[in-house]
Amino acid sequence: MTTDATATPVPPADARALGLAHYAARGVLENVLARHGCTFEQQVALRAAVTAEEPPTADGLLAQVGTSLKADPAVVRATLDDLLAGQLLVRDGEHLRPTEAGRALLTAVGAETAPITARIWGDIPADDLAAAGRVLALVAERANAELAALTA
């Protein structure tokens, strides 16, 4: 809570606040992605392939994206199939590699979202971002452990 009597009180972080922030930011990204004919799930999978140290296998990318999005494997497989059909990913033996078109898509989306991201995040103090990062990492760790227990 804020100590400035003239400022609007800020509620403590909780699951609702986290969800509202996530969906607001995701809504911005999905708006940009839609202009490029790309879904959120496709962008997550494509980014995972582009940023991988070594080209991932289809099963490896399926597992990574499924774990990140908490998505059904069939949904992730359909997403990878869409990226392959759209020639944003290509099969190279057992590996999936991003194409130049896939890389160009991520570059274009990044360029379009950069000024928006700067407006959203730009003036937040580094100490606040560090504290939020620690809290979010802990929440993710605990939620993943709870999900694992529920699905075991």
Cα–Cα dist 118/72, whole Å: 33
pTM confidence score: 0.85
The CATH fold of domain 28-121: Arc Repressor Mutant, subunit A (1.10.10)
Q: What does the pLDDT look like over 12-41, one tens digit per residue?
A: 888 998 999 999 999 999 999 999 999 999
Within 10 Å of residue 39's Cβ, how many Cβ atoms?
14
With beta carbons less than 8 A apart as the criterion, state whether 26 and 40 touch.
Answer: yes
**What DSSP letter does each residue of 71-109 carry, written as one string?**
--HHHHHHHHHHHHHTTSEEEETTEEEE-HHHHHHHHHH
Residue extents of the structural domains in the chain:
28-121, 124-152
Query: What is the model's pLDDT at position 130?
Result: 95
Backbone torsion region of residue 70, taken as left when φ is above 0, otherwise alpha when ψ lies between -120 and 50, otherwise beta: left
Query: What is the model's pLDDT at position 1?
Result: 47
Q: What does the pLDDT look like over 39-75, one tens digit per residue?
A: 999 999 999 999 999 999 999 999 999 999 999 999 9
